[in-house]
Amino acid sequence: MLKSCKIAIFASGLGTNALALKRAYKDFYSIDPILITDNPKSPICEEGILIPFTNKEEHEATLLRILFENKIDWLLLAGYMRILSANFIAMFSSWHNNKNQILNIHPSLLPKYKGKDAYLQAWNSKDSHTGVSVHLVTEVLDSGDILVQIPFLIRRDIDLEQFITESKKIENDLYMQVLRRIFQEEIPTIKFQEGVSFATPI
């Protein structure tokens, strides 16, 4: 078991996955993780930090400063609706011996149905199944290496809203599994390297 592992969670919407990750982390380490949203209307504002979006360069510089000052080991995106730049990813990785330790959860069996409204895209298709993927984050939308996927039936005996609600429970469960694998060192962690420097993105 990892004696310590500092995570930050970024989210933009209702924060279902983000808050579940926050509770799991606190249960394990008895402290709150860093929880950040860019959306002033998100319920996450009540439990985390609001960093309103100004422009991409300034926004990412502020986020990186927070991650650096808190010596974050893993960054988990949970419904975060912005694409991180190559500079952001490279800088965060440089603090971990150039290992990518940024994860995202996406509601499809990637590479199918990238981007927004993935459940709706699957629902409107002729597919019998869809799923959820947890993958490493790159500057290309929903295109990083996949760590784990889980398929499930597209239930057409219920309406779309019910289908999405049930599917989000599967999302929560899968992200929790990945977080536990990090805690148990089944997914190796390169800790934040002491002595690394901070510089704002170019």
Identify whether the C-beta of residue 193 lies closer than 8 Å to the C-beta of residue 41.
no
Cα 151 from Cα 154, distance rounded (Å): 9
Cα 41 from Cα 15, distance rounded (Å): 11
Q: Give me 26's structure tokens.
A: 């606190």
Catalytic residue among 59, 106, 129, 135: 106
Whether 135 is a known active-site residue: answer no
Identify whether the C-beta of residue 9 lies closer than 8 Å to the C-beta of residue 80.
no
Q: Please, which residues bridge with residue 49 across strands?
A: 36
Residues catalogued as catalytic = 106
